[in-house]
Amino acid sequence: MTPKPPVDPKLREYLDAEADAYLEALPLSHFMEATTQATQRKITLESFDLVHAARPEVQCFNELLIQYRRGGRKKVGKVVPDNFVVVHPEPIDALKSFDLQTQTARPLLVLEYVSKETRRKDYDENFEKYEEELKVPYYLLFYPDNDDLTLFRLGEKGYAAVPPNQAGRVAIPELELEAGLLGGWVRFWFRGELLPLPGDLLIERDAAREQRDEAKQQRDEARKERDAERTARLAAEAEVAKLREELARAKGTGSTP
């Protein structure tokens, strides 16, 4: 693992202070989240956990502050995506914030979920930050109230919507990933396969256990039938042998003068 170059202590102190100030300045409404946003965030995190298991360099973060230089401005820029994804071969060290001044990786994908119940962010301003300042290659925007999913890809003229494929999904080739709506939520397909959720995995596990138990019960019943047939056959053979022995004795007795 290649060690990261040391960070200037003064820069680290400044960035930490900026992160603390940002947190303290947040209104209480920022910490209120609609169930639709919470549900989609959970789906995203659970899905990317599976992607990370197959590709450890794909790392997904949740509600983590991104700090970055803004042109010639003195103050750093700040934005907090609902989720964002970084592709990097080494674990990302980010405690209070993800600071582009100190990181060797940059976000590949940002994801935001907009609910009319809790519109906590200025998504128009965020769009410009991702497109013009951070230049994030992909931006996924989901309106759960309207079942509206759009994936933007950065090009020479800025963001352009990615058209869906024949399956109705939008692709992010760098992640071997596709996103699409299923059951009213954004779901993810990795290498062509739908990524299951924990509830799905439990159902599959229980179904597999039930099938296994049924198969075992059938094997046990078949074994009992075989054992019963063998016992009956042995009993019949023993009875035949007994009858033959009695018959032989009867013949022997009858031939005696």
Whether residue 76 is predicted with pLDDT greater than 70 in this model: the reply is yes
Per-residue pLDDT reduced to its tens digit, 12-63: 898 999 999 988 888 766 767 788 889 999 999 999 999 999 999 999 999 9
Which is nearest to 199 in space by CA: 58, 47, 82, 60? 47
* pLDDT value for 74: 79
d(CA 192, CA 190): 5
* pLDDT value for 112: 94
CATH topology of domain 9-195: tt1808, chain A (3.90.1570)
Q: Looking at per-residue confidence, does 233 or 252 come out higher?
A: 233
d(CA 137, CA 243): 91
d(CA 47, CA 257): 97
In angstroms, the Cα distances linking 214 to 128, 208, 224, 226, 228 are 58, 10, 15, 18, 21
In angstroms, the Cα distances linking 254 to 242, 244, 247 are 18, 15, 11
* pLDDT value for 159: 97
In terms of average pLDDT, the best of 92-106, 194-208, 243-257 is 92-106
* pLDDT value for 29: 67
Q: Do 110 and 128 contact (CB within 8 A), yes or no?
A: no
- Joined tokens for residue 13: 């102190």
Whether residue 203 is predicted with pLDDT greater than 70 in this model: the reply is no
d(CA 13, CA 8): 9
The Cα angle at residue 61 between residues 55 and 62, in degrees rounded to 5: 140
* pLDDT value for 138: 98
d(CA 35, CA 220): 48
How far does CA 199 lie from the centroid of its chain?
12
- Joined tokens for residue 79: 């934005």
Q: Where are the domains of the chain?
A: 9-195, 197-257
Whether residue 207 is predicted with pLDDT greater than 60 in this model: the reply is no
Per-residue pLDDT reduced to its tens digit, 138-187: 999 999 988 999 999 999 999 999 999 999 999 999 999 999 999 999 99
H or E element at residue 172: strand 170-172
The number of C-alpha atoms within 13 Å of 18 and in the hemisphere containing its C-beta is 20
* pLDDT value for 216: 75
Per-residue pLDDT reduced to its tens digit, 110-145: 999 987 765 556 777 899 999 999 999 999 999 998
- Joined tokens for residue 74: 């003195």
